Every structure is written in C-alpha cells, then in structure tokens.
C-alpha cells in the first residue's frame, strides 16, 4: 500500500495544509479500519442501506474517546499502524499528544454522504445513529468522552441527547444546538452556486467557487487584514485583490477532492440540525471563539444556559474565527488536555 492509498479524498487537501511529511511520527500506534453495510432509518429518506467506515486506534481495554471533526474531516485522525498517511488532526491526536493514543482508545468515522453516494437529505441525528451503529458493530458499550469540533460538535450534541447512556462526557468545540440564521443564509448561497455549476455542466467550478465563499465564513477579517493587506492590482484590464490567489487555490484543491452531491448534502445537514438544549443531561464542556461567524459565542452561551447538566464554557480569542480548532494548536491542545485529564489519570491509576 502506498502512503496515500488509504486516504479518502475529502480531507486530503486539509492535511496538506496542516502537516509536513518531515514531521511524520516514527512510532505508529496499533489501529484497525472498519467497513460494513448497515440499514439506517434516515429522518428524511426512510430505511436506507449505508456503508459505514470507521477507524479505531489505541490499546484494547483503554477508555474510549470518540473524535469527530468538520464536514471536510474523515475517520483518519493521525498516522497509525493501519494507515501511515498523515491524518487531519495530527496536532492533537497521537502518542504524547492531548488525545494520547498511548493511554486512550480513539474512534472516528466517515460522515454519511461524504462519498457522494447518498443523494438524499441527511440530518445530524442520522450521523448520531451511524455512530451508534459503529459502536454496536464493534461491541463498544460506551464512549467515555466525545470530542466534537464544528460539525462534529453538532453530531456530538445529537448523540448526547439521543443516547445519554452511551456517553460519559461531551467536549463541543465551535458547535451549537442549532444553526445561526446568518450562517444558514451563507450556506444557502453556496449551495445555489454549486447548483448553478451543475446546470452549466461545470460541477467542479461550482464547488470551487462555493468553497471560496465558505472560506470567508470559516476565517475572520483579522486574518485577512494581516495576510492580504496589499493594494489591488490591474491585470489584463481587470482588478485583482490580494486574497484572490489564496481563495482560488483553496477552491481548486477542494474541487479536486469533493463531489457536488457530497458538498450539497452535508451543507444541508448543518441547516437541518436541531437539538433541544434541555435534552443534554451529561457533563458538557463548550468552546466559543470570538469572531466565529458560524457558531458565534452567543449561541454557545444559549446552549450552556439551556442544558440540563453540569456545563463549563471557555472562550478563545483568535484571528482564525471558526477554524481556530485547526489553527490554534496550543490553545486547543490545552482545552483537550484539560477535558481528558481525569480520564487519563484514571487509566494511569488502573495501570
């Protein structure tokens, strides 16, 4: 198997921007990759046969931590014995890192619809059901801590509300119990751009342009002010601004990996997301980021005020906005280490 043979296409471009092959770990933890068919009752499509794909890393018998990322993330969190390619969260997952695979067993799975083969409305509750199916398939009775970031936080909230007996604690980074109307409007425009590309038989161009618009919602104005302050230029009779090369690159890389159907259905699933805050009855740690336009702090506060459980909220100031969970490596590492400290200590005492 070549280094890239085990990569799913949807997170590869993200990995390229976050991981340097020169820093690849030399000792790879034991892991297994799981694929199986399962019939799920989807909220808006009824009974549907789905292909579920998961990855499980770490020693058997260790406390289980589930880690779920954004809609561009997949099951491969970090390089391991089953797949030596870099994962999308190398900075946080691995031996000696905040999510320590030497002391914890770590699970993640691919999102329903991410392969483009499921062209029906998908709900975050469907994703939670898929996670439950993975647990049952592996005969895992309980997730001790679920760490969810962005879309993964939404799915984590659904899982906690629906299956509280199967989870001990939830750490939700930059994700709330409902989509913000401003963010939903932004995504609706992105989907119209993709649909227009499909009408023109230019699917890739539509996805690329939608991704460029999405990048403006993932990041914050402060970052663009730092990086792209150069004056506009006139090229071939057209005005070009400093950020365009960066946005063009982001769109091109994304369109090479993503199908239009996958983009549309996962984008829709964010706007279908709803969880009653009062249904959350397990311990909850929330992270809000100042400048996050997709999950603004006021939404995180509303979730904290409405949930029926012990809850703590941390606020991070970052120029990276919603993408802080990927870019603010040290700060996010501290949040994760703090959330997992008791679990790691219990495992050390048991050993």
In CATH terms, 182-269 corresponds, of 1.10.1740.110, 3.40.50.1370, 3.40.50.200, 1.10.260.40, to 1.10.1740.110
Residues assigned a catalytic role: 150, 292, 322
Q: Collect the ranges in the chain with pLDDT lower than 70.
A: 1-27, 346-351
**Residue extents of the structural domains in the chain:** 12-179+273-350, 182-269
Tens of pLDDT along 238-255? 999 999 999 999 999 999
In CATH terms, 12-179+273-350 corresponds, of 3.40.190.10, 3.40.50.1820, 3.40.50.1110, 3.30.1300.30, to 3.40.50.1820
pLDDT of residue 188: 98
How would you label 206-223 residue by residue, b for 16+ Cβ within 10 Å and e otherwise? bbbbbbbebbebbbbeeb
Cα(229)–Cα(159) distance, integer angstroms: 43
Cα(263)–Cα(157) distance, integer angstroms: 22
CB atoms closer than 10 angstroms to residue 246: 14
> Rounded to the nearest 10 degrees, how much is the dihedral formed by the CA atoms of 242, 255, 149, 154?
120
Contact 305, 153 (CB under 8 A): no
Kindly report the pTM of this predicted structure: 0.91
Provide the strand spans (E) within 231-350: 233-235, 238-240, 284-290, 311-317
Q: Which among 315, 334, 316 is positioned nearest to 98, based on CA atoms? A: 334
């Amino acid at each position: 198997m070549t280094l890239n043979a085990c990569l799913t296409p949807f997170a590869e471009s993200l990995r390229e921007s976050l991981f340097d092959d020169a820093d690849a770990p030399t000792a790879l933890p034991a892991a297994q990759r799981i694929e199986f068919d399962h019939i799920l009752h989807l909220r808006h499509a009824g009974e549907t046969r789905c292909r579920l794909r998961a990855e499980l890393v770490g020693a058997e018998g260790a406390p289980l931590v589930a880690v779920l990322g954004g809609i561009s993330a997949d099951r491969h969190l970090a390089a391991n014995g089953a797949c030596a390619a870099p994962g999308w969260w190398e900075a946080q997952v691995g031996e000696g890192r905040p999510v320590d695979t030497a002391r914890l067993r770590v699970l993640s799975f691919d999102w329903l619809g991410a392969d483009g083969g499921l062209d029906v409305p998908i709900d975050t509750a469907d994703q939670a059901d898929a996670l439950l199916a993975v647990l049952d398939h592996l005969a895992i009775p309980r997730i001790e801590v679920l760490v969810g970031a962005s879309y993964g936080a939404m799915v984590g909230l659904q899982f906690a509300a629906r299956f509280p007996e199967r989870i001990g604690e939830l750490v939700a980074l930059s994700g709330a119990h409902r989509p913000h109307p401003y963010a939903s409007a932004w995504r609706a425009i992105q989907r119209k751009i993709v649909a227009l590309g499909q009408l023109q038989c230019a699917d890739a161009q539509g996805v690329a342009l939608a991704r460029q618009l999405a990048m403006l919602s993932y990041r914050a104005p402060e970052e663009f002010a730092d990086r792209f302050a150069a004056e506009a230029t006139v090229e071939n009779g057209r005005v070009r601004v400093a950020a365009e090369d960066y946005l063009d690159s982001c769109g091109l890389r994304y369109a090479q990996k993503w199908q239009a159907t996958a983009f549309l259905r996962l984008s829709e699933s964010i706007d279908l997301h709803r969880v009653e805050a009062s249904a959350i009855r397990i311990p909850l740690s929330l992270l809000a980021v100042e400048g996050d336009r997709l999950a603004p702090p006021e939404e995180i506060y509303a979730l904290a005020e409405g949930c029926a459980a012990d809850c703590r909220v941390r606020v991070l100031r970052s120029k990276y906005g919603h993408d802080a969970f990927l870019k603010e490596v040290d700060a996010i590492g501290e949040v994760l280490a703090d959330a997992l400290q008791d679990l790691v200590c219990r495992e050390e005492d048991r050993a």
